[in-house]
A and B are shown apart, each in its own frame.
Chain A
Amino acid sequence: MSTPSTTEAPTIPCVTVNGEQAPLTDASAHTTALDWLRGRGLTGAKEGCAEGECGACSILVARPGVDAETEWTAVNACLIPVAALDGQEVVTGEGLGSSGDLHPVQRELAVRGGSQCGYCTPGFVCSLAAEFYRPGRTADVADAADAADAEAKRCDHEHGPNGVDLHALSGNLCRCTGYRPIRDAAYALGAPADDDALAARRQAPPPQPRATRLAVDGAEYVRPATLPEALTLLSERPEAQVVAGSTDWGVEVNIRGRRAPLVVAVDRLPELRSLTIGDDVIEIGAALTLTEIERRLAGRVPLLAELFPQFASRLIRNGATLGGNIGTGSPIGDAPPALLALDADVVLASPRGERVVPLADYFTGYRQTVRAADELIRGVRIPVPLAPIVGFHKIAKRRFDDISSVAVAFALEVADGHVVRARIGLGGVAATPLRAVATEQELLGRPWTEETVRSAAAVLAGEGTPMDDHRASAAYRTAMLGQSLLRLFHTHPETQVVPA
């Protein structure tokens, strides 16, 4: 298939789908990309859950790359408004291949028994195709020092000999196969062929974001061109719903029937998309996706590196942002506990200028924050040097892609055998994310020994006000708080801490 790059902006919003330009007719501000595609007869993408959990709606979008100019990025079509795709390039399962001419990903899945009922399959195809085209994938394999190294990577059962990271499929659910044949198909993939048009597309610049306005029946979707425009709009229209990846808003629209009169997209504003690593501070733009942050940091912030694989699924991380995760004010977001442990600040922008608020002071109540209606989260700042002993302990029913019952983030420093720095962030145990201040105090200045840890664990178990719900009992949440510190000590025991 051909994928012409976007030419001059048309007057009405339009999307390039499988190489053909399509105007956004029959779409409103709240029409999801999934419904719009299906309405065009592209019924390969399915609705399985309408909340970004099952991945049956996965499609590919050409996005700015980290390791190439453009990367094919898999996203949940059920969560994003189709208006967000104005000027963008989309490929669906139908665009990858046809039954008479299968794409390599489709062929491997088909011949290995990777589909049974087939309903989830086009979504798996798109998620796996994104991994197939990930520029770093084959390089990862080449980088493996030797066969033993490659074998070691394989041994965790989450990485294939071809560089495929199984986490690429963590947001796709299959109820039929038990996954083994899908894994085998994923691990059997080679590199894209020389004449693969989608592979070639990666070398050209991505479609540029452009200002979008779609207004139908009293509901508007607006993508301002610049940050000042966005801030002006927010100050004029305090009812505006700000979205970046729409991974939270999409759920509100689909499941709870929310219909905001105005949705303002900020995910492509350049001021919100920078990542700088300085001597004193690492600043991360609020609208970078978690995937972009994960890959651009490349392990430089070990606590975040531990967090990312546990944060939802790859499909969600391809859309979700730190700004969004903080902005919703949810007590069970996974980024706030980690950022609290990192002592992060939030940078808030408004027409009045910028202000910096410690994250520890940001949350004021259940989904309540200090952010004013006309303020936008521009980024977060993490002070360096970072504490050397870190851990992100997420307690959930499922290992991949689940919501925390409890999340505990640690950032400690031990010098001369004593705790000299302690920051602990908690999620899921109160109406807001919070710092375990009493536990931090209990640890500070004490020797890093099992005795200290046991007494501090008892304090930690008393932090917050955990409750009973369908995810976990209050008793288990409480127990997990205490256990998490014991577990951290077990992985960083006293004997292995070299005095500073």
Chain B
Amino acid sequence: MSALSQRPDNPTVGIPLPHESAALHVTGEALYTDDLIGRLQDVLHAWPVQAPHTHARVTSLRTEAAVAIPGVVRVLTADDVPGVNDAGVKHDEPLFPTEVMFHGHAVCWVLGETLEAARLGAAAVEVDYEPLPSLITVQEAIAAQSFQGTPRNLARGDVSAALADAAHVFEGEFEFAGQEHFYLETHASLALVDEGGQVLVHSSTQHPSETQEIVAHVLGVPSHEVTVQCLRMGGAFGGKEMQPHGYAAVAALGATLTGRPVRLRLNRTQDITMSGKRHGFHSTWRVGFDDEGHILGLDATLTADGGWSLDLSEPVLARALCHIDNAYWVPNIRVDGRIARTNKTSQTAFRGFGGPQGMLVMEDLLGRCAHVLGIDPVELRRRNLYQQDQTTPYGQPVRQADRLAACWDQIADSGEVARRRAEIADFNARHPHTKRALAMTPVKFGISFNLTAFNQAGALVHVYKDGSVLINHGGTEMGQGLHTKMLQVAATALGLPLSRVRLAPTRTDKVPNTSATAASSGADLNGAAIKNACEQIRERLAQVAGGRLGISPSDVRFADGVVRGLSPASGEVGWNELVNAAYDQRVQLWAAGFYRTEGLHWDAGAMQGEPFKYFANGVAASEVEVDGFTGAYTLRRVDIVQDVGDSLSPLIDIGQIEGGFVQGAGWLTLEDLRWDTSDGPHRGRLATQAASTYKLPSFSEMPGDFRVRLLEKAHEEGVVYGSKAVGEPPLMLAFSVREALREAAAAFGPGGISVELASPATPEAVYWALEKARTPQVPDAPAEPHAVAAMASGR
């Protein structure tokens, strides 16, 4: 067992604890970025001028009328930018654009004494536009050959030969929707100028270091003149990984130009119309199976709808390609990936980061092919699961394929899948207008940033003279419970009660050059860095304790706030007393910790290597009931087993699994992004730009019976205290819901046919699917943005 993964006796990690801020959350005492403005004086409020065009050139911009409005202080435009007029790291995102690239693009920002003044000022700014032709759908972009970034190709074996020899070959096309993050807290920044022109930006950001970088380059100052702090976020889900930078820069620019604090908080309409979302994808595929249903080859093309700029589209695409296999062995494969450039918001990171999109293609095609192959979909999936030490298409061994099988069999067993499916068949036979179905799907998700350099982290741990401990790390808290886990890690590493450890807000002047809190890696990376810092301090204290107890420092043990030798005879010393003694001896009582993930290598051009430290595994079984009159459905029961290693914090992990699952189910069934694709005056406008039109899962979408288990005996070698990442993988377990809906729709018909299902599978989409299943002659569903095209069977 590695030193990193080994736990001491009675560790604080592994104890189910509520979120460290739970008491602050429930009382409203927890502060978020926008809650801070009441603590400052003379705060200015920012409001964007959003273009009413989808693609247009800005021919002139006049601010006089705006500035004449009482309470309007200033209009920020490109002329005000002392540094680089760009909000991204790819230098393709002008902060103040001269070319409007999507409907609602902010061309300038108004600062007002009140939000109302800023709003009225924004309405008074006069902008002349020269409209330009636009591309809205990914299909339009493909037809126009409008792409951006570097196309990628993932290949292994001989696909052409495999498909030529396969007993069954199918081909299909599938376009599916993206997803709005809809973190409850919209983007928010609050910038102040400190002494000496130093800028402090409070930002709701998953990536404070990059926010700092962008603010610095917009202001034209070195990074050490900008500090970014993130207290906590009211949800992020990837939407605050790269998107906050521009807003923070606008606030910082306003603060430096006026000398007053500037608050920029998007309202929901602004947030949803301006910020990036999960990428929708278009895919075409050909797949070959043998007579037993084993996949022999897959040839696919994935086109990600990147929106107007690159943002994180390239790494998202890379992860999609790396996850198209999901949990299945595909001996011969060729996947071409490319990024469409469209006149929409710049699509970005969202929990799963391309993984869900890649996997959805695979799960969809398995669901469509199973009945035509004459193989039960549950059996088809089980049969194709990776075997031990088979490798992924990019050459990484699947070292824990046995865990996939273990999860699968555990769910089949504890979920009583066979018995329930027999009951469902009986129910369906007795109910012509209502059908139930149960589907099982697996997840195998690679953990680590695909880009190797991001797999590093830092921490700063202080022990004060009174023995109290303050920890800092580079990760941000967005509700995922990272800080809770980090407190547990520090308490475990120092052998202290949890109450002795406190955590300070994430700040770039404490831990520099941090990676985004993303890719599910927050606990793995920062936990290891904190542990490293704690161990440095502990080793120094062991020297002091060894001297006092008259034993070798290597025999000193720290537990429950008491420091002892291995032998009871050697006596003990209290933590506080030891810390005091160490101070007197001029021993350093703080340490900077560092961690880099070992064993990673990745050739991004060849798409080959071992980009992941390990895979997170899970399996879900979902049972649905569908109403044949309307297509409306309910989620009756969900069983999940997820491999989180040895959990650092079980209550937190179960919360991540449940929440991720429901969010995934929202993406796949309910959440329906619709842009105006007509040639009318509102072309390119997001039609679902509010909570009233873009529906998130509510209590009615919660599974009636929700049973989540953590895989037991799942120690993960080489990861902090034997744990595994949990943030993203469970989202993809929601494929089981979509596949169950497909099965239920099929149950309205005679069976043996392929049932196509649009994504999201709204009640309307399910209705068309079941209507087609029960009356195969009915005309096709009306043209839908996410409608699937026909699948044809070869041979």
A binds B: yes
Q: Are B658 and A178 in contact (CB under 8 A)?
A: yes
Q: Which of A47, A96, A122, A398 contacts B698 (CB 8 A)?
A: A398
Q: Report the separation of the CA atoms of residues A393 and B35 in the bound assembly, to the nearest whole angstrom.
A: 42
- For residue A340, CB closer than 8 A to chain B, the reply is no
- For residue B466, CB closer than 8 A to chain A, the reply is no
Q: Are A470 and B693 in contact (CB under 8 A)?
A: yes
Closest to A167 in B: B699
Q: Are A110 and B18 in contact (CB under 8 A)?
A: yes
Q: Report the separation of the CA atoms of residues A53 and B694 in the bound assembly, to the nearest whole angstrom.
A: 10
Those of A301-344 within 8 Å (CB) of chain B = none
Q: Are B38 and A117 in contact (CB under 8 A)?
A: no
**Taking A48-B268, A117-B479, A475-B782 as contacts, is the C-beta distance between A170 and B700 under 8 angstroms?**
yes
CB contacts (< 8 Å) of B31 on chain A: these are 43
Those of B174-205 within 8 Å (CB) of chain A = 181-186
CB contacts (< 8 Å) of B83 on chain A: these are none
CB contacts (< 8 Å) of A472 on chain B: these are 764
- The proximity string for B residues 706-724 relative to A, scoring 1 for CB distances below 8 Å and 0 otherwise, is 1000000000000000000
CB contacts (< 8 Å) of A98 on chain B: these are 27, 29
Contact stretch, chosen from B289-297, B300-308, B659-667: B659-667
| Chain B interface SS verdict (over half) | loop
Q: Report the separation of the CA atoms of residues A99 and B781 in the bound assembly, to the nearest whole angstrom.
A: 54
Q: Are B699 and A175 in contact (CB under 8 A)?
A: no
Q: Are A48 and B658 in contact (CB under 8 A)?
A: no
Q: Are B706 and A116 in contact (CB under 8 A)?
A: no
Q: Report the separation of the CA atoms of residues A174 and B26 in the bound assembly, to the nearest whole angstrom.
A: 13
Contact stretch, chosen from B211-219, B227-235, B439-447, B514-522: B227-235
- For residue A169, CB closer than 8 A to chain B, the reply is yes
Q: Which of A50, A169, A480, A487 contacts B268 (CB 8 A)?
A: A50
Contact stretch, chosen from B366-374, B529-537, B553-561, B683-691: B683-691
- For residue B702, CB closer than 8 A to chain A, the reply is yes
Contact stretch, chosen from B256-264, B589-597, B628-636: B628-636
Q: Which of B629, B658, B701 contacts A398 (CB 8 A)?
A: B701
Closest to A485 in B: B629
CB contacts (< 8 Å) of B21 on chain A: these are 115, 118
Those of A110-127 within 8 Å (CB) of chain B = 110-122, 125
Q: Report the separation of the CA atoms of residues A48 and B183 in the bound assembly, to the nearest whole angstrom.
A: 9
CB contacts (< 8 Å) of B692 on chain A: these are 49, 51, 53, 251, 403
Q: Are A97 and B27 in contact (CB under 8 A)?
A: yes
- The proximity string for A residues 388-413 relative to B, scoring 1 for CB distances below 8 Å and 0 otherwise, is 00000101111111110100000000
**Taking A93-B26, A109-B26 as contacts, is the C-beta distance between A181 and B700 under 8 angstroms?**
no
Contact stretch, chosen from A34-42, A371-379, A438-446: A34-42
CB contacts (< 8 Å) of B236 on chain A: these are 117
- For residue A199, CB closer than 8 A to chain B, the reply is no
Q: Are B27 and A50 in contact (CB under 8 A)?
A: no
Those of A75-120 within 8 Å (CB) of chain B = 92-94, 96-99, 102, 105-107, 109-120
Q: Which of B30, B181, B632, B699 contacts A400 (CB 8 A)?
A: B699
Most buried by A among B268, B652, B687: B268
Q: Are A487 and B27 in contact (CB under 8 A)?
A: no
Number of interface residues of A (CB under 8 A): 89
- For residue A6, CB closer than 8 A to chain B, the reply is no
Q: Report the separation of the CA atoms of residues A398 and B672 in the bound assembly, to the nearest whole angstrom.
A: 11
Q: Are B267 and A113 in contact (CB under 8 A)?
A: no
Q: Are A121 and B782 in contact (CB under 8 A)?
A: no
Q: Which of A110, A116, A117, A468 contacts B782 (CB 8 A)?
A: A468
- For residue A486, CB closer than 8 A to chain B, the reply is yes
Q: Are B19 and A118 in contact (CB under 8 A)?
A: yes
- For residue A44, CB closer than 8 A to chain B, the reply is yes
Q: Report the separation of the CA atoms of residues A381 and B673 in the bound assembly, to the nearest whole angstrom.
A: 41
**Chain B, interface residues (CB within 8 Å), range:** 35 or more
Most buried by B among A38, A53, A180, A405: A180
Shortest C-beta distance, A92 to chain B (Å), equals 7
Q: Are A175 and B184 in contact (CB under 8 A)?
A: yes
Q: Report the separation of the CA atoms of residues A158 and B632 in the bound assembly, to the nearest whole angstrom.
A: 18
Q: Are B702 and A176 in contact (CB under 8 A)?
A: no
Shortest C-beta distance, B697 to chain A (Å), equals 8
- For residue B602, CB closer than 8 A to chain A, the reply is no
Q: Which of A180, A471, A475 contacts B706 (CB 8 A)?
A: A180
Q: Are B763 and A116 in contact (CB under 8 A)?
A: no
Shortest C-beta distance, A424 to chain B (Å), equals 16
Closest to B690 in A: A51
Q: Are A395 and B655 in contact (CB under 8 A)?
A: no
Q: Are B38 and A106 in contact (CB under 8 A)?
A: no
- The proximity string for A residues 179-198 relative to B, scoring 1 for CB distances below 8 Å and 0 otherwise, is 11101000000000000000
Closest to B760 in A: A397
CB contacts (< 8 Å) of B7 on chain A: these are none
Q: Are B691 and A173 in contact (CB under 8 A)?
A: yes
- For residue B695, CB closer than 8 A to chain A, the reply is yes
- For residue B568, CB closer than 8 A to chain A, the reply is no
Q: Are A49 and B691 in contact (CB under 8 A)?
A: yes
Closest to B686 in A: A470
- For residue A484, CB closer than 8 A to chain B, the reply is yes
Most buried by B among A45, A125, A399: A399
Those of B5-27 within 8 Å (CB) of chain A = 18-19, 21-27
CB contacts (< 8 Å) of B26 on chain A: these are 93, 97, 102, 105-107, 109-110, 114-115, 118, 121-122, 125
Q: Which of A39, A43, A475 contacts B28 (CB 8 A)?
A: A43
Shortest C-beta distance, A249 to chain B (Å), equals 15
Q: Which of B23, B235, B672, B767 contacts A119 (CB 8 A)?
A: B235
Q: A116-B655, A179-B698, A399-B701 are in contact. List 13 more A-B contacts (CB 8 A).
A: A43-B34, A54-B184, A93-B28, A98-B29, A117-B232, A118-B30, A122-B27, A176-B479, A178-B660, A393-B630, A400-B700, A401-B698, A479-B767
Interface residues of B (CB under 8 A from A): 18-19, 21-32, 34-35, 38, 119, 123, 181-186, 232-237, 267-269, 433, 478-481, 629-630, 632, 634, 651-652, 654-655, 658-663, 670, 672, 674, 687-688, 690-693, 695-706, 762-764, 767-768, 771, 781-782, 784
Q: List 12 A-B contacts (CB under 8 A).
A: A43-B28, A53-B690, A99-B27, A118-B234, A119-B235, A121-B25, A176-B479, A177-B658, A177-B662, A397-B670, A397-B672, A397-B763
